[in-house]
Amino acid sequence: MDSQAGPGSGDYVALEARHGARNYQPVPVVVDRALDCLVWDVEGREYIDMMGAYSAVSHGHLHPRLVAAARAQLERVAVTSRAYYGTTLGPFLARLCSLAGFERALPMNTGAEAVETAIKCARRWGYRVKGIPDGQAVILVARGNFHGRTSTIVGFSSEPSYRDGFGPFAPGFRHFDFGDMASVRAAAGPDTCAVLVEPIQGEAGVIVPPPGFFRELREWCTRERVLLIDDEVQAGLGRTGRWFAFEHEGMRPDALVLGKALGGGLLPVSAFLADEPVMGVFDPGSHGSTFGGNALAAAVALEGLRVLQEERLVERAAELGPYLMGRLKDVQRAARPLIRDVRGRGLWVGVDIDPAQGSARRLVEQLAQRGVLSKETHETVIRFAPPLTITPALIDRAVDIFRQVALQAIRR
């Protein structure tokens, strides 16, 4: 490295390539600092963040109220474990339960940990409440699901690359087709304790289910005495233009999984929420986490909920989501046959690229070269999920650049 000029992007890329595991293939942008919806690399180039760290930065980068809350808490206490009570966890849980409409919440760190918590809770509920014989409980999961990366969770993924080389996998899961109630009924049996499902399948390409599916699924789960567990790690906390995506269907799940945005873009925070008849299956020693619900995390998450509410960021997503969707559909009309579909809800949109016409990864890299950050999934879909603080002007700038990139790809 040049000691006078300082390390450049290439130096940092080389360091990660030399010492890091090869489990990611990042877009070649080395982020040095960020503020709200803008990011700057090591060389000082500016980018519009249209990715929002998979919804983890819904409040915008380094929201001043969240940074202040973190600093204030860091001067008091950060981590003591759940061996003791504290002054921040109770207020956070109370606010979260009030907003989500559940009686209890169990705090964890990552989204995958909260999903693992949901799995444990569903199984124990199946044995202790529904009366399923021990060791026989089954959870129904959708094909195309993405609930995390633990060995249990990838075991019920339908994506071969997520499973390859990581078995043997835990039994107790059956698949159904996302959005298809006939498939749900066919997969179910007397041993079914729960349905674990995303309201929108993000990693699968921002797949929105048919209208009425979740309402019908809710009714079926009630009739069959099956828990409906809604994984809103990406979709929750305003991303779709409602506090929670299940509200679009006018229904309520039995349990809710939250993460990503819950940490305000500063640190990992997740939670599993349910009412007492479900959450009551946990007793002291049955589940836990050293860092889950730590004082610092609870302080930041509580302020994050206040910011979402007081700065009306959920309403902002509801207002600007259709605008972003409309602008991207305009690009689709201009860039046929490259763009096959534009779909999503709120500030969460997937642009489906025809692989015969172009590469989603290549388009993402070209966008980055021109100052727009996004990310591909499954090699054919470009995801746009900016912070909820995005402005119409920044949307226009980002979409105009995407239009240029898409039209250039067609001309090649």
The whole-angstrom separation of Cα 148 and Cα 143 is 14
pLDDT 10s digit of each residue in the chain, 412 long? 444 578 999 999 999 999 999 999 999 999 999 999 999 999 999 999 999 999 999 999 999 999 999 999 999 999 999 999 999 999 999 999 999 999 999 999 999 999 999 999 999 999 999 999 999 999 999 999 999 999 999 999 999 999 999 999 999 999 999 999 999 999 999 999 999 999 999 999 999 999 999 999 999 999 999 999 999 999 999 999 999 999 999 999 999 999 999 999 999 999 999 999 999 999 999 999 999 999 999 999 999 999 999 999 999 999 999 999 999 999 999 999 999 999 999 999 999 999 999 999 999 999 999 999 999 998 999 999 999 999 999 999 999 999 999 999 997 7
Q: Which of 244, 246, 260, 291 is catalytic?
A: 260
The whole-angstrom separation of Cα 284 and Cα 141 is 29
The torsion angles phi and psi of 133, rounded to 5 degrees, stand at -55, 140
Q: Which of 41, 49, 231, 352 is catalytic?
A: 231
260 is catalytic: yes
Q: Which of 92, 146, 173, 291 is catalytic?
A: 146
The torsion angles phi and psi of 7, rounded to 5 degrees, stand at -65, 145
341 is catalytic: no
Sign of CA dihedral 324, 326, 329, 334: negative
H-helix or E-strand containing 302? helix 295-310
Domains of the chain: 9-62+313-411 (3.90.1150.10), 64-310 (3.40.640.10)
146 is catalytic: yes
